[in-house]
Amino acid sequence: MTTLEAVRLMLERSGVSSYRVALNLGRASSYVAGMLRRGSCPSADLLAKMAHICGYRLDLVPYDGSEAIHIDGGGAG
């Protein structure tokens, strides 16, 4: 799954609109929708913040099954 597919799925499953995510990020109301339309991938920091707004967190999971790193996106960058 690509980053943009994951963002679309996260928005769909959470029921949070791209409009609401953009406003919570302090961006223009069309920011997230435009990003998805253009195929622009968010930075890891922005992705973590978007996930937090939608009730998710960004996890880095190693292939070997060892402990994951959790990034909640709620703190100041």
Domain spans, the chain? 3-71
Q: Which of 9, 26, 34, 62 is nearest to 42 (CA)?
A: 34
pTM given for the model: 0.85
The CATH number of 3-71, from 1.10.260, 2.60.40, 1.25.40, 1.10.287, is: 1.10.260
Q: What confidence tens digit (pLDDT) does each residue in 11-65 have?
A: 999 999 999 999 999 999 999 999 999 999 999 999 999 999 999 999 999 999 8
* Cα angle for residues 54, 57, 23 (degrees, 5° grid): 35
Q: Which residue has tokens 């499953």?
A: 13
